Homo-oligomer: A and B are copies of this chain.
Amino acid sequence: MRENNVRNIWAKGGAVINGWLGIPSAVSAEAMAQAGWDSLTADLQHGLVDYQAAVGHFQAISTTQTTPFARVPWNEPGIIMKLLDAGAMGIICPMINSRAECEAFVGATRYAPQGYRSFGPTRAIWYNGADYYTHANKTVIASAMIETQKALDNLDEILSTPGLDAIYVGPADLSISLGKQPSGTPDDPVVVDAIKKICAAAKKHKVVPGIHCGSTAFAKQMIGFGFQFVTILADTALLTNAAKAAVSEMKGGTGSPAKGAGPY
């Protein structure tokens, strides 16, 4: 089976530079895949992307050495298993707030007896080879989003879920849950402290910490905190920001990203 390069980077103590796909097009995904990301995540939650678009994303990504991930819309076994069958090497699941939710999530990513994933890895075998079943449980990555006060309250229970490989902080939702304005680059001490706390707890439990980032500067700060999986914006934001910068420069502005470009 093909190795999961994200695991390899983690094994060396490195940080994975992850891209984010919110445009439902295999062409934009291939444009993104030209950029040298370690991994690219099809975002079925907040991206304008559904399962069939994600299949196209995975095909486009598979023309390069980048590792395909997906974020699911919600903690539902059907879509988790479909994306793994389509070739995702890792799943990010939003809004994991309890041990039971985390167990349900991780179980959906593992064949019995470690979980309850159903067998039928149609495209996963095309991408990985005929021995996929033998290696899948220890290759595929399950990453639970920690992004609410409730998850903070249950942090150790969640992090000790058997088989959980990684967590992923959603800073905007975490900010809202902590009573702050949503931000992809939070600097409110309450939010920053929570992020640090999550990172430290993850490392204590041998779970790899990851985080969504609204800028390269924030991503570098987060790597400094110890995060080993950082996402830099989505293709939608990269594209709109680049276009706004070009228009702004032509129309007399400074060329920096125009106002109104969202941080996520």
Contacts and interface: CB of A to CB of B under 8 A. Distances in A.
Contacts of A251: 17, 36
Contact of A73 (B81, B250, B262): B81
A90 B143 CA distance: 31
A130 B250 contact: no
A241 interface: yes
Contact of A235 (B126, B176, B243, B255): B243
B74 A55 contact: no
Nearest to A40: B243
A122 B236 contact: yes
A219 interface: yes
Interface string A210-238: 00000010011000000000101111101
Chain copies in the assembled complex: 6
A190 interface: no
A72 B111 CA distance: 19
A130 B258 CA distance: 12
Contacts of A37: 243, 247
A250 B215 CA distance: 10
A62 B56 CA distance: 13
Contacts of A111: 176
A27 B48 CA distance: 8
Given A46-B119, A239-B239, A241-B242, 12 more contacts: A24-B55, A28-B235, A31-B239, A35-B258, A59-B59, A62-B63, A76-B78, A95-B118, A119-B172, A216-B249, A235-B239, A242-B242
A50 interface: yes
A60 interface: yes
Interface in A131-160: 133, 147-148
Contacts of A63: 59, 62-63, 126-127
A149 to B, nearest CB: 8
Contacts of A147: 118
28 contacts: A22-B27, A25-B27, A25-B28, A26-B55, A32-B240, A34-B244, A35-B247, A37-B247, A44-B82, A45-B81, A45-B82, A45-B118, A45-B120, A47-B122, A52-B52, A52-B53, A56-B59, A73-B81, A74-B77, A74-B81, A76-B78, A119-B182, A121-B262, A125-B262, A130-B260, A216-B255, A232-B247, A238-B246
